[in-house]
Amino acid sequence: MNNKKIPYATKEKVEEIAAKWPTPFYLYDEKGIRDNAAAVREAFSWNPGFREYFAVKATPNPYILDIFKDYDFGCDCSSLSELVMAKSVGFDGRHIMFSSNDTPAEEYAYAAKLGAVINLDDITHIPFLEEILGGQFPETMSLRYNPGGVFRMSNGIMDNPGDSKYGFTKQQLFEGIRILKEKGVKHFGLHAFLASNTVTNEYYPMLAGQLFELALQIHRTFDVHIAFINLSGGVGVAYSPYDTPNDIREIGKGVKEVYDAILKPNGMGDAAIYCEMGRFMLAPYGALITKAVHEKHIYKEYIGVDACAANLMRPAMYGSYHHITVLGKEEALRDHMYDITGSLCENNDKFAVDRLLPKIDMGDYLFIHDTGAHGYSMGYNYNGRLRSAELLLQTDGSVKEIRRAETLKDYFATFENTPYYEKMMDEIN
Ligand SMILES: *Cc1c(COP(=O)(O)O)cnc(C)c1O
């Protein structure tokens, strides 16, 4: 049944916000973020070393990262800018996981300088990193595993690790551990990310089972200490109101069962569980809010809004469904079929296709749900479109700007050493 998505801001609240920050803008819900973070911590509280390293790429904003410090979470970074952001928010090395791939040398060097936990993506990165580190590896190293083939869950959901560019093969993994042990590494972590946006409580426990078995084999083969198992991201959210959301308590319980069955009886009960969830931590607690500015009646009915795919790429790129609420018309009959479009000169610039919604009037605000992760962060500047502001609806109901909207001056800034720059500035001032 339709369990309906309820926006965390009313039409009145959005009107009040829009008077100060013109649409489009991202609005994040601090209370939702905190309640969910607390639930994640609780679900894994059976594991003393548990830590969620929030995947910074999902929502790279220091104010968001700062919230997670209250739960002793860390940051999962994959690039220099993400590392710089994590460091600037005050995360120490133990709270930074560097899970990158195709990694530039200077990023490894910086991650090592911060004392971050380095998660290697490939066996060739061992000599690459060794040279950067001057031969001295940290005592703890993590390796990313890719079992190949197809990862299948019982309800037909599957993903395709065999087609993904990440990680070590099993044979390489054993070889990598052997080499690193020889080079003085004492504690090992294993990492794998085998399926994306899994809307089933079964994914983490299944993945954990595979990684625990692997950890046991490695422990027996090399007599090395397995310090942590990193289940990475991939825990999904119910984008459609017809989907049943994941229950993190069930997920935590499921992981505990395999932990107790595989690791505990084999003297490996000190292994910490880490995760790197991005989507699950933030997607439901962010919305893109945009205003209807045009209606067009040709072969179909179109509503043009003031946001576009440059603000939210997922529908255009993946055909993703994002639920839309027309604010103030929550209870109205959804009896009009629309395509909701942005202004890019790209026909896939549509937030919804053939979507049944209440009749939309010009000036109505649309609340595009579940855009708190991989939303703003995937933004771009095509057609010279600018990134919007990011706002935080705080627990006390007040609104804080956590990133201002981009301006034309920002857009043209990289021409500043050209003869055109001054003329551009004359035009926009
Ligand atoms: C993208 C990514 C994540 C987060 O994935 P979600 O699906 O947002 O949870 C975690 N770890 C790594 C290495 C990633 O690349």
Q: Which domains does the chain have, with CATH numbers?
A: 30-281 (3.20.20.10), 284-415 (2.40.37.10)
Q: Which pLDDT score, from 0 to 100, does residue 154 have?
A: 84
Residues of the chain with pLDDT under 50: 1
> Which pLDDT score is estimated for 1?
42
* Minimum CA distance residue for ligand 1 atom 5: 233
- pLDDT of 156 reads 80
Query: What spacing in Å lies between the alpha carbon of 311 and ligand 1's midpoint?
Result: 20
Angle between helices 203-222 and 248-258 (to 10 degrees): 30
Residues 6+ apart with CB under 8 A from 186: 139, 140, 224, 225
Nearest CA to ligand 1 atom 7: 234
Distance 78 CA to ligand 1 centre (A): 10
Measured CA to CA, the distance from residue 421 to residue 247 in angstroms comes to 53
Check if 99 has its Cβ closer than 6 Å to any atom of ligand 1. Answer: yes
pLDDT value of position 155: 77
Compute, in angstroms, the gap from residue 116 CA to the centroid of ligand 1. 17
> What pLDDT is recorded for position 6?
95
Q: Is 234 in the pocket of ligand 1 (CB under 6 A)?
A: yes
Tell which one of 276, 280, 282 to mutate to probe ligand 1, the residue whose CB is within 8 A of the most ligand atoms: 276
Residue 52's φ and ψ, nearest 5 degrees, are -90, 125
pLDDT of residue 38: 98
Q: Are 237 and 203 in contact (CB under 8 A)?
A: no
**Cβ of 233 less than 6 Å from ligand 1:** yes
Residues 322, 369: Cα–Cα separation, whole Å: 6
**Direct distance between the N- and C-terminal alpha carbons of the chain, in angstroms, rounded to an integer:** 53
Cis peptide upstream of residue 138 (ω within 30 degrees of 0): no
Task: Select from 95, 132, 136 the least CA-distant residue to 117.
Answer: 95
- Counting atoms of ligand 1 from 1, which one is nearest the CA of 144? 13
Query: Is 246 exposed, middle or buried, given 0-12, 13-18 or 19+ CB atoms closer than 10 A?
Result: buried
Q: pTM of this prediction?
A: 0.97
Res 42: pLDDT: 98
Cα 349-351-353 angle, rounded to 5 deg: 95
Structure token pair of residue 179: 């080499």
Q: What is the pLDDT of residue 254?
A: 98
Q: Which ligand 1 atom is the nearest neighbour of the CA of 280?
A: 9
Residue 9 near residue 27 (C-beta atoms within 8 A): yes
Give CA 265 to chain center in angstroms. 34
For a ligand 1 pocket test, name from 40, 51, 57 the mutation site with the most ligand atoms within 8 angstroms of its C-beta. 57
Q: Is 320 helix (H, G, I), strand (E, B) or coil?
A: coil
